[in-house]
Amino acid sequence: MKSSKPLLWIPSLYLGESLPYAAVMLMSVVLYQEMGLTDTQITLYTGWLGLPWVIKPLWSPIVDGIKTKRWWILAMQLLMGAALALLAFTLPTEFWLQCSLALFMLVAFSSATHDISADGFYILALDTKDQELYVGLRNTFYRIGMVLGQGGLVMLAGLLQESHLSIPLSWSVTFLAVAGLMLMLAAYHWKMLPAPSSDAPSDNERLSVLQDFYLTLKAFFSKPHLLTALLFILLFRLPEGLLTKIVPLFLKRSLAEGGLALTDVQYGFVYGTLGVVGLLGGGILGGWLVSRYGLKKMLWPLVLCITLPDIVYVWLSIEQTQSLPLIASCVFIEQVGYGLGFTAYTLYLVHFAHGPRSTSVFSLCTAFQYLGGVMLPGMVSGWLSDQLGYQQFFWAVMGFCLVTFAVTALVKLPKENSKP
């Protein structure tokens, strides 16, 4: 039986999916910068932390074959809450770097497992029409969690530092707050997540993991127009993958270093207020547009929305304005565009995964897109920005938008995405 009250669990489920990702991949960037690491070190270390999201299909058959998706969601939220709490207590120690990297990796593996479960649960608990209707809401709350991490929680760390708390202790309190949020979400979902009859261990649970993974690969590589689909999945997010780790560093580095010299509080305000409004508007509008007109008609307008607004960072790096309203406006424009464009991309992945072993196939899709669109670009982005400087780096990102255009021109849309 499909869920009749998706509004009670979709927002919180995807908030719970994105918060740990934000802690590992976004908050860690600001933490390591304030603890004295270089851009190259930061992007390389945090890039490796993204490995679990790439290799998660290796254990997705276990999630399919053991317990329900609901059970995995609850278990991983509890584990992540505990690991983040432990992380908070290690930051003031002399072994903070080694301990934080190890605990961030534990959270990353748990979060990747949670992603498998949550995305599979979304497909099982909703019919096709509701999947289309709520994809904008799903993406919006996923991004809200990321903005909360790199915005509101970074702002909290900054306020604590302004209250004369040391950098390590301020971040300890901040990560304790994240741990508390994860534990509260686990308690909420214990009561509010539905239990659809389709959420049951796979019939393949008696097969070996290797056999099960083989079936997933066979289902994935049997999809029509596979080559163009792979190019689209791998490369669509390339410009974003380069921007994700550098924008926070650019906003916070000094003017002499080519940055905008924002404090933690200013940085948090920019990403935690207007950024959220932009995401809400862009994500919800994108979902409505695709639901109303179909992905085939809306694809190119939404692709332009996700790429062209990146030009705001070129302007900011040239002007190095100190006007917070101007900086916030630029971020707002970019976030609206991202909310619109990412809706189309996610819905393509959902439709591509339909068919046999949809949960595992979707997991494989997200692994490929993370490898090509986030992890590898992110790992080299710090070195690239150190070599080019922020201004030339952002020009290079605009050049890479041509890659997004190229793979979009090649991709073949599933027939069910078209509307009459």
C-alpha 396/C-alpha 402 separation (Å) is 11
Mean pLDDT (whole number) for 362-390: 88
Place of tokens 């689909």: 229
What single letter denotes the amino acid at residue 204?
N
Helix 10-22 crosses helix 167-192 at what angle (to 10 degrees)? 150
Full domain range(s) for residue 286: 6-195+209-417
Which distant-in-sequence residues (6+ apart) come within 8 Å of 95 by Cβ? none
Predicted confidence (pLDDT) at residue 299 exceeds the cutoff of 80: yes
Residue whose C-alpha is closest to residue 132's, from 339, 346, 297, 340 = 346
C-alpha 352/C-alpha 261 separation (Å) is 43
Do 232 and 407 form a contact (C-beta atoms < 8 A)?
yes
Predicted confidence (pLDDT) at residue 347 exceeds the cutoff of 90: no
Predicted confidence (pLDDT) at residue 97 exceeds the cutoff of 60: yes
Question: Which bin fits 237, alpha (ψ -120 to 50), beta or left (φ > 0)?
Answer: alpha
Do 141 and 57 form a contact (C-beta atoms < 8 A)?
no
Which distant-in-sequence residues (6+ apart) come within 8 Å of 46 by Cβ? 24, 25, 28, 29, 32, 245, 378
Helix 390-410 crosses helix 295-307 at what angle (to 10 degrees)? 170
62 vs 165, more confident? 165
Among 1-10, 216-225, 294-303, 373-382, the least confident range? 1-10
- Say what the pLDDT of residue 273 is: 72
- Say what the pLDDT of residue 194 is: 85
- Say what the pLDDT of residue 151 is: 80
352 vs 90, more confident? 90
C-alpha 199/C-alpha 379 separation (Å) is 37
C-alpha 135/C-alpha 129 separation (Å) is 10
Which distant-in-sequence residues (6+ apart) come within 8 Å of 153 by Cβ? 22, 27, 174, 177, 178, 268
Per the domain annotation, does 235 fall within a domain?
A: yes
3-state helix, strand, coil in the chain (%, to 5): 85, 0, 15
Phi, psi angle pair for 68, to nearest 5°: -95, 165
Which distant-in-sequence residues (6+ apart) come within 8 Å of 185 by Cβ? 12, 15, 16, 19, 77
Do 170 and 284 form a contact (C-beta atoms < 8 A)?
no
How many distinct structural domains can be found in the chain?
A: 1
Rounded mean pLDDT of the chain?
87
Per the domain annotation, does 176 fall within a domain?
A: yes
Per the domain annotation, does 200 fall within a domain?
A: no
Place of tokens 């390590």: 168
Do 246 and 313 form a contact (C-beta atoms < 8 A)?
no
Per the domain annotation, does 288 fall within a domain?
A: yes
Do 306 and 342 form a contact (C-beta atoms < 8 A)?
yes
- Say what the pLDDT of residue 418 is: 41
Give CA separation, 251 vs 39, 241, 263, 332, 393, in Å. 13, 17, 9, 14, 14
Predicted confidence (pLDDT) at residue 25 exceeds the cutoff of 60: yes
Mean pLDDT (whole number) for 211-240: 86
Residue 420 — very low, low, confident or very high, per pLDDT cuts 50/70/90? very low
Predicted confidence (pLDDT) at residue 254 exceeds the cutoff of 50: yes
Mean pLDDT (whole number) for 33-56: 90
Residue whose C-alpha is closest to residue 261's, from 199, 311, 327, 214 = 327
Do 292 and 383 form a contact (C-beta atoms < 8 A)?
no
- Say what the pLDDT of residue 419 is: 42
C-alpha 64/C-alpha 278 separation (Å) is 36
Q: What is the three-class DSSP state of 144? A: helix
Predicted confidence (pLDDT) at residue 246 exceeds the cutoff of 70: yes
Name the most confidently modeled range: 53-62, 217-226, 234-243: 234-243
Considering just the CA atoms, what is the radius of gyration of the chain in Å? 20
pLDDT in tens, 182-210: 999 999 999 988 877 766 666 554 455 56
C-alpha 87/C-alpha 236 separation (Å) is 34
Instruction: Give the CATH number of the domain where residue 135 resides.
Output: 1.20.1250.20
Per the domain annotation, does 201 fall within a domain?
A: no
pLDDT in tens, 380-400: 999 999 999 999 999 999 999
Tokens linked to 175: 């990560």
- Say what the pLDDT of residue 417 is: 42
- Say what the pLDDT of residue 146 is: 80
What single letter denotes the amino acid at residue 164?
H
pLDDT in tens, 116-138: 888 888 888 887 777 777 877 88
Per the domain annotation, does 204 fall within a domain?
A: no
Do 417 and 296 form a contact (C-beta atoms < 8 A)?
yes
Predicted confidence (pLDDT) at residue 248 exceeds the cutoff of 90: no
Predicted confidence (pLDDT) at residue 104 exceeds the cutoff of 80: yes
Predicted confidence (pLDDT) at residue 232 exceeds the cutoff of 50: yes
Do 357 and 364 form a contact (C-beta atoms < 8 A)?
no
Residue 322 — very low, low, confident or very high, per pLDDT cuts 50/70/90? very high
C-alpha 273/C-alpha 294 separation (Å) is 31
Per the domain annotation, does 203 fall within a domain?
A: no
